[in-house]
Amino acid sequence: QSVLTQPPSASGTPGQRVTISCSGSSSNIGSNYVYWYQQLQGTAPKLLIYRNNQRPSGVPDRISGSKSGTSASLSISGLRSEDEADYYCAAWDDTLSGLYVFGPGTKVTVL
């Protein structure tokens, strides 16, 4: 069982905005950066957001991340069919001498 909590699923129609939450604790999200990854079916995860709200080169600005306290969220606006994927949050956890933890993932479906 992950120390980070995500809803198992989220959905929206093309053009809509979808927001995915990620809840943690003071030892992970509360004191460290949050990262978000997108995993398309059958492929490796891809970094979407680093350091809470920074986008790597090539990630469109309709993708955004935020953090408040021990929770974080990923928003996808202008939803497109190619956004259908699994999304994982991740953060370093300060317990047990350092551990990079991933959330259980949220499956986004484009209706």
Partner 1 sequence: QVQLQESGPGLVKPAETLSLTCTVSGGSISGYYWSWIRQSPGRGVEWIGYIYYRGGTSYNPSLKTRVTISIDTSRNQFSLRLSSVTAADTAVYYCARSHGGGSDYWGPGTLVTVSA
Give the residues lining the site for partner 1 (CB under 8 A).
2, 32-33, 35, 37, 43-47, 50-51, 54, 56, 88, 90, 92, 96-102, 104-105
Cα of 82 vs its chain's centroid, Å: 16
The residue type at 17: R
How many degrees, rounded to 5, is the angle at CA 44 between CA 66 and CA 97?
A: 60
CB of 97 to partner 1, least distance (A): 6
Q: Which of 60, 56, 58 is nearest to 77 (CA)?
A: 60
Rg of the chain, C-alpha, whole Å: 13
CB of 46 or CB of 84, closer to partner 1: 46
CB of 105 to partner 1, least distance (A): 7
CB of 8 or CB of 13, closer to partner 1: 8
CB of 110 to partner 1, least distance (A): 22
CB of 79 or CB of 88, closer to partner 1: 88
How many degrees, rounded to 5, is the angle at CA 32 between CA 26 and CA 36?
A: 110
CB of 22 to partner 1, least distance (A): 13
CB of 4 or CB of 79, closer to partner 1: 4
The residue type at 88: Y
